[in-house]
Structure 1
Amino acid sequence: MSAQQPHVSDLLRIHGFTALEPGPRLIVLGGVHGDETCGTAGIERTLAELDGGALQLLRGQLTLVPVANPLARRLMRREGERNLNRLFKPTPAGEAPADYEARITNLLCPLLERHDVLLDLHSFQSAGEAFAMIGPRDNAGTLEPFARAFEEGQLALHMGTPRVVEGWLEIYAAGLAQRAGGRPADEAALAFGWGTNEYMRSRGGYGVTLECGQHEDPAAPEVAHRAIHAALRLLGMVAPDPHAKPPATPSLLRLVSVTDRDDEDDQFVREWATFDPVAKGEPIGVRADGSVLAADRDGFIVFPNAQALPGAEWFYFAVESDRDLRRPALP
């Protein structure tokens, strides 16, 4: 596709709104994966409200990207030529973009850099409730140094989901090491784990990925739409809602492991949904050789994928976190 003339529907559509009063700069992405349409629906509805005057931007800048991966959307599949939410870094100077997604990334990266806050709207394949994903706690480490964890946690709290999940990049790195026989992943391999939020944090901003529900869930577009409004209110970019209630405290989970599907004959013992609880010792799946894969502790299944290809992530495992999003971390 990258060597052909672009189809008109493969062009990136970006909508920008700037208030007369200065304020935060928020960018909202939908359709990073082509078969995830709820974010697009939520953004299009918000666009109509802004254009029609039902919603007024009072301060700051708002950028809305209804379909961040137009090729994948036209094909109505997760990817165009590869996963846009991996290797989300600009192509090095002097090199040609390797594929369509690299060209899109080269457009989106400078756009994200001009903003303070990112809301990235997604959905998932298995059954399950909506949830928000956040990055690391404040740290000065080498994997993902960060200093805005409290602000990011506040944004996650206001998404209105019953759960928030932390720990993505750390577990991605652990998965790479696991596949390499315990050897730490090199920088190039880790870079493939970078998505939109990781890039946003690396540029001094912060971001939340909102998983609005299962792909076909009719409630998912409403989850996306509510989240956009909640983010705008939290940042003081639109008028407050006098009837809004304080957000309920969601449960917080921490990803602790990822398990790959080794063989196409590896099978789950039942149809799992994201956040299904699992007790220590409970069977989760059966390997092709007949060995039973059981939980090594109490926890929760996350992103089970019965159609995963051999060598790809089969499911993630999470446990309850001790993090408190309502309070800044102690120095």
Structure 2
Amino acid sequence: MTQPSPRDLQFKSINYTGLDKGARLIVTGAVHGNETCGTRAIERVMAQIDSGELVIARGSVTFVPVTNPLAYRLEQRSGQRNLNRNLFPNDDPQDFEDRIANWLCPLLARHDVLLDLHSFNADSEPFVMVGPPNNDGPLQPFAHADQERALAKRLGVRRFVDGWLATYGAGVQRRLSDASQLQTVLRYGVGTTEFMRSTGGYALTLECGQHRDPQAPAVGYRAIINTLAHLGLIDAPAPAAVAAADIEALSMVVVHDKLDKADSFARTWRSFDEVRVGTVIGTRADGTSVRSELDGRILFPDVNAGANQEWYYLTTANPAFAKD
């Protein structure tokens, strides 16, 4: 495929505002260009609004069907780098994603709630990435956990994962030889939801299914409609929360790095595969076995990771989430 010139591309958002006051919602799709289920879901909802089938009665909703137009045009995850890392405005933009950030970050900051729609590579069921509990710590201070988790339980899925930035940060600390670089490198862990929380809002990433799953756009569509109803933007019955007994909630607790490009997995792992203490995850280049140190589930196994990059995460059950 011929590489499009960034100068041939532009950014697009569409806003619908109701007559009465209410929450300001933003819904994003195709932050990664090969994850198109969010784009299709957003287009379906906008068509209903444009036809009059749906009416934004209060508050406002902004749709960004294609957040990264370069990656979307190329039909690949990234344009020149991963947009969903190191997402901050940049006075001296070095790549196309920096330029997206200079447009997207102020747009996010003008809203109260973000629903970011994604998909994933391996076959698995949809899940929601949620933020931290309320805290005033230095890593990711947050004050809207109750509202965020209430919305998460109404998106229409049963699986929830938290602990991303703290676990990523611990891995950064472990691999850094120069502790003074910590804050700089931690910025790489900030994506759409983390930036949104930093502006005083709350945010969810919904992983709608496998990239080519024909049901993934429907998962995204249902989540948008449920969010509009839950926030009161449309006149519709409030969506019910997923039953506590059906919830599978997991917390990311540790990330393991690939130390050598020859490190290899013992099997083809998929996110949420179960592991037990002692389960062989893989083998180091020197023949040493890598075993799970806990009972839980593996997350984001990356067979293509390079040396000194994240190889896989481990999660443990978080029963408190169902009670929140």
CA distance in 2, matches of 1:102, 1:217: 30
Cα gap change, 1:87/1:55 in structure 2, threshold over 3 Å: closer, same or farther? Answer: same
Match 1:247 to one of 224, 242, 245: 242
- How big is the shift at 1:55? 1.5
Does residue 178 in structure 1 map to residue 174 in structure 2? yes
Matches within 5 A, 1:112-127: 112-127=108-123
SS at match of 2:320: coil
- Is the Cα contact below 8 Å between 1:165 and 1:255 reproduced in 2? yes
SS at match of 1:324: helix
* Residue of structure 2 equivalent to 1:201: 197
* Residue of structure 2 equivalent to 1:64: 63
Of all paired residues, the percent bearing the same amino acid is: 47
Cα gap change, 1:5/1:292 in structure 2, threshold over 3 Å: closer, same or farther? Answer: closer
Structure 1 counterpart of 2:293, which letter? Answer: D
* Residue of structure 2 equivalent to 1:269: 266
Does residue 47 in structure 1 map to residue 46 in structure 2? yes
CA distance in 2, matches of 1:19, 1:178: 49
Structure 1 counterpart of 2:188, which letter? Answer: F
Match 1:290 to one of 282, 287, 298: 287
* Residue of structure 2 equivalent to 1:147: 143
- How big is the shift at 1:194? 0.7
Cα gap change, 1:287/1:58 in structure 2, threshold over 3 Å: closer, same or farther? Answer: same
CA distance in 2, matches of 1:183, 1:279: 33
Cα gap change, 1:77/1:43 in structure 2, threshold over 3 Å: closer, same or farther? Answer: same
TM-score (norm 1): 0.92
TM-score (norm 2): 0.94
CA distance in 2, matches of 1:186, 1:309: 20
SS at match of 1:96: coil
SS at match of 1:115: coil
- How big is the shift at 1:246? 4.2
Runs (4+) of structure 1 exceeding 6 A deviation are: none
* Residue of structure 2 equivalent to 1:318: 315
Mean Cα displacement is larger for which, 303-312 or 51-60? 303-312
- How big is the shift at 1:282? 0.7
Does residue 14 in structure 1 map to residue 7 in structure 2? no
Match 2:152 to one of 146, 152, 156: 156
RMSD (Å) for aligned C-alpha atoms: 1.7
Does residue 25 in structure 1 map to residue 28 in structure 2? no
CA distance in 2, matches of 1:106, 1:204: 18
- Is the Cα contact below 8 Å between 1:38 and 1:224 reproduced in 2? yes
Structure 2 counterpart of 1:68, which letter? Answer: T
Mean Cα displacement is larger for which, 101-110 or 261-270? 261-270
- How big is the shift at 1:5? 5.6
CA distance in 1, matches of 2:167, 2:249: 16
CA distance in 2, matches of 1:228, 1:148: 20
- How big is the shift at 1:216? 1.7
1:116-162 superposed Cα distances (whole Å, 9 cap, x missing partner): 00001111122211100111100011011111010011111112222
Bigger share in helix: 2
Unaligned runs of 5+ in 2: none
